[in-house]
Each structure stands twice: as C-alpha cells, then as structure tokens.
Amino acid sequence: MIVSGWKKQYTDILKEFKYSEKQDKESAKILNSILKKSDTNKKILNLVKGKTVFVIGSGPSLSSAIPKLKNYKKIIKIAADSSIKPLVENGIIPDVVVTD
C-alpha cells in the first residue's frame, strides 16, 4: 500500500526530529527482526479469533462513545494510544494498544 504524500511527510518528520534516514531504516529492520521472533501476532490473533472486537480511535466521537463502551465489558478492545487517557479515566481498559 502506498500512501499519497507520505515521502514528503516522512522527510518533514526526519527534519523536525533531526533523525537520520539511514539510521531510521536500520532501526526499522531491527524492530522487524525482533517482531518476527516474537509471538505477539499469534497472541493477538488468538485473543480476537471468533470474538467481537471494537477498534477505538481518538476522534471527536470518542467522548460520546465512552458511555456505550462501558456496557461492553467482555468485548475485546483494540485502542489507539491517543485514546488511552480518556478510556482509562473512565474505567475502560483496552486489551491491545496500538501506535503508529
């Protein structure tokens, strides 16, 4: 999958944080090799297989969704890291947290 405009955004991020593209790519390779040795994907697949899953972001509807989410204690919740604070403050603990 190619995201339009990503290269420019990536270049801007590298400049803003003063990252080296070469070192960034090397760290991505190292992380990929670590993840390949990990059974994280398998654990997540086992967690969600055959179950209802909510994927929770931090968009403008999150505050109105929180009361509804409280009613679904046994549903698997996968949450964006940016949604964690309001979720936890309201007693909702995600099963999986993702970041980009």
The answer to whether 72 and 95 are in contact (CB under 8 A) is: no
In this prediction, residue 6 carries a pLDDT of 82
Arithmetic mean of pLDDT over the chain: 89
Q: What percent of the chain has pLDDT above 90?
A: 55
> Can you give the C-alpha Rg of the chain in angstroms?
17
pLDDT tens by residue, 52-62: 999 999 999 99
In this prediction, residue 3 carries a pLDDT of 65
Q: How confident is the model at residue 38 (pLDDT cuts 50, 70, 90)?
A: confident
Local structure of 56: helix, strand or coil: strand
Residue 79 DSSP label: E
